[in-house]
A and B are shown apart, each in its own frame.
Chain A
Amino acid sequence: MSTDTLQLGPEPNVELRRDVSIWGSFMWGYADVGADIYTALGLVIAAAQGMASVAFAIAGLVYICIGLAYTELASAYPVAGGGHYYALRGLGDFWGFVAGVALLLDYTIDISLFSVASAGYFLSFWSKIITHAERIKHQIHLTSSVVIYDWVMVVVSLALILFLIWLNIRGMKESSLFNEILGALDIVTESTLVVCGFVFAWRPELISSQFLETWHHFDLHRFAYGTSLGIICFVGLESISQAAQETRRPATIIPRTSITLIITVFVFAVAFSNLSLGVSPWQNFETHMEDPVAYLATLIPFIGFIAGPFAAFLGMTILAISANSGIMSASRLTFSMSQLKLLSPWFDKVHQRYRTPARTIAFFSGLGILFVAASAFTPQIIDTLGNMYAFGATLGYIIVFASLIKLRFVDPYTPRPYHVPINFSWKRPGQVPVQVPILGFLGMVGVSMIFFFVVYTHAIGRIAGPAWVALCLLYYVFYRRSLKLPVLGSVKHDWEKEQMAVLTSAEEYDLLERYKLALLERDKILKKKVNGTKI
């Protein structure tokens, strides 16, 4: 691959401001991942039946590997961009672009999917509290074959996306506060459901009998399908790394928020699945796939009578903040990509007054609006959107794992406030030793298997996902050629200077000094080598 030199850099005196606090950073991630349980719980139980808890646990293990990889990379490279930036640094511009567009697909679908799902919960809540009647879908027949299946839900979804665009353009502080309040409310409520459920309604004999029954009639295909759905339940953890450039003291804060998020989401997923199977037979959840958490809440004594509408309200809020998190991640990812000459500088503009990447927010939220509008013509909007949801994420995660491994070799000097555990030290003669991440390899294999399964089983995802990547690659070829930059090669960067600038801007002085020392050590070794060669 060839390498060209190019002077890069953001506009002078215009940069993303560091407004996101420790709770805000946690909530950006939680908003994205925490919402998935509201949709995935019913799907996984329906597929894996009495072994749903095991399916969640297995999916959770792969998710933990992904989470730990992101924790290491986001704390070592606290810049906007997340997965695409790590791929660019580790594997070069081309793979940085592929990872970027894969994650962009995920975020754009995130905006659409969770806005629609939130609208669905809102309408469910509305029908329970205001109209006291079953919600009906209002159809519009444009022609005999072209039908908008639920125009009310579409209108509410679009209104929500427009509101979120406004909120994000106003700046991180405002939208962080929005996330922080609603996320905290969700954690308290979910915890209340778990505690009350286990204390007042959980029957261990029911869960064990269901497990044994499923075990005796074990269906590998169904179980594997359930496990893949379980993985979808954990998508969105990278939001924390997307907000890294706006997080205060990122190298200190991100490992904490990220590890807390991994534990919290894993505990919630396992707790909800165990609670569900210990309270009601799995068959009942199969008939409540649209509102499994609300159904579960109605089965809990003392709180069940208000739990239905409240769970609908809660679903609406957490899904809304998930959509908001998608806007944030998409806009910040494109901002980063445009700064690194992977996308047009049109995306690079920062709003002079609010200092937010307003164009990218508007552009990709606009794409989200288009996705909602297009899927409105299919009978199951959520199913259509959900089909593509995992494709982008799993493709991006595979590249992130490859980047984690490669960066351990090519950049062992950058201090890592957090290391993915289970490594073996490879001492290379005349070079700095490398910590080879065994868990990184295992995680990559796990995610690759899930990616294969997603492509194999999801009819829309296997066409729309690769089509999105192919379209973006066409744009990439055109754009890079117009700038006379290599398509497969990489633009030369002074990563050391940039890393020092990032650590200085993040006020991570301790890491900065560690980085300088590591570079000095490397230079000493290099000098020794050169002298040795001369002799």
Chain B
Amino acid sequence: MHPTLVFSPLGIVISVVFVTSMVSVLWWMLHPPPQVEAAVAKARRSISAFRRIMVTTRGMRYDDRAVELACRLGQEQKSEIVVSYIIEVPLTLPLGIKLDQEEKKADEAVNRALNIIKLHQLSAVGSIGRDREAARGILRASREHEADLLILSIDPRKTALKKFSGKTTERILSEASCEVIVDHIPVSDLLSPESM
């Protein structure tokens, strides 16, 4: 039996699809991602360990920026972001006293932070607490929420005027049971027209 020569447009199309699919799949197979070194993998995955990130706020612009930073850090592993606002109550007042203005300010600050987190489609928890000392309140909140990372933003104006005692930050850095990032932006950034 002699072969019969037949041209079919559909046959030609099938051939082209066949060759393209075979070449594509073989090319994909032969180009795997590069190998990751042990140290690189460890460093990379240590960030993925942040399943719950806590960020403190006082409702300032640099606090909002710290919330955004927390969201970016937690984006890949879909971390839960905890926003903590600690109302400092002076020793001269009872801890449970009604502080309408301060509470309103706290609500606004936390809600704004939650809105930022919502934009990143991450789960968010708002926390407003009271303590005699901000540092102690933040540390307690971080333990209660089992935070893997704590982000602290500090007021750049205070550091610029050298009024920053660093007491709160220092205590948190020395006593925190989780990793801490201190976010300090240059005061020029805070005062620039773009940031207003």
Residues on A facing B (Cβ under 8 Å): 22-23, 26, 187, 191, 194-195, 198-204, 249, 252-253, 256-257, 259-260, 263-264, 267, 271, 274, 278, 298-302, 304, 507, 509-510, 512-514, 516-517, 520-521, 524
A304 contacts across to B, CB distance below 8 A = 3
**Main SS of chain A's interface residues?**
helix
Q: Which of B36, B49, B146 contacts A520 (CB 8 A)?
A: B49
A200 contacts across to B, CB distance below 8 A = 3, 5-7
Q: Is the CB of B36 within 8 A of A510?
A: yes
Given contacts A195-B19, A520-B49, contact A510 B32 (CB under 8 A): no
Choose, from B37-45, B57-65, B127-135, B168-176, the stretch at the interface. B37-45
Q: Is the CB of A202 within 8 A of B1?
A: no
Q: Jot down 17 A-B pairs with beta carbons below 8 A, ordered by A.
A: A191-B18, A194-B15, A200-B3, A200-B5, A201-B4, A256-B32, A259-B25, A263-B25, A274-B14, A299-B3, A509-B37, A509-B41, A510-B36, A510-B44, A510-B45, A513-B45, A517-B49
Q: Is the CB of A204 within 8 A of B12?
A: no
With the chains together, A405 CA to B7 CA distance in Å? 49
A509 contacts across to B, CB distance below 8 A = 36-38, 40-42
B49 contacts across to A, CB distance below 8 A = 517, 520
B96–chain A nearest beta-carbon distance, Å: 25
B146 contacts across to A, CB distance below 8 A = 524
Q: Is the CB of B22 within 8 A of A510?
A: no
| Residues 35-83 (chain B) with a chain A CB within 8 angstroms | 35-38, 40-42, 44-46, 48-49, 51
With the chains together, A507 CA to B29 CA distance in Å? 19
Q: Is the CB of A202 within 8 A of B6?
A: yes
A44–chain B nearest beta-carbon distance, Å: 20
Asked if B93 is at the interface of the complex by the 8 Å CB criterion, the answer is no
> In the complex, what residue of chain B is closest to A512 when comparing beta carbons?
B41
> In the complex, what residue of chain B is closest to A190 when comparing beta carbons?
B22
Q: Is the CB of B4 within 8 A of A301?
A: yes
Q: Which of B4, B21, B35 contacts A267 (CB 8 A)?
A: B21
Asked if B26 is at the interface of the complex by the 8 Å CB criterion, the answer is yes
B176–chain A nearest beta-carbon distance, Å: 17
A291–chain B nearest beta-carbon distance, Å: 15
Q: Is the CB of B41 within 8 A of A26?
A: no
With the chains together, A509 CA to B21 CA distance in Å? 32
Q: Is the CB of A514 within 8 A of B18?
A: no
Q: Is the CB of B11 within 8 A of A260?
A: no
Q: Which of A199, A252, A264, A513 contacts B12 (CB 8 A)?
A: A199
With the chains together, A200 CA to B8 CA distance in Å? 8
With the chains together, A298 CA to B4 CA distance in Å? 11
B12 contacts across to A, CB distance below 8 A = 198-199
B2–chain A nearest beta-carbon distance, Å: 8
B79–chain A nearest beta-carbon distance, Å: 12
Q: Is the CB of A257 within 8 A of B29?
A: yes
Given contacts A300-B3, A510-B44, A512-B41, contact A199 B15 (CB under 8 A): yes
Task: Please list the 4 inter-chain residue pairs (A to B) with the smallest Cβ-Cβ separation, ordered nearest first.
Answer: A513-B45, A509-B41, A202-B11, A260-B29
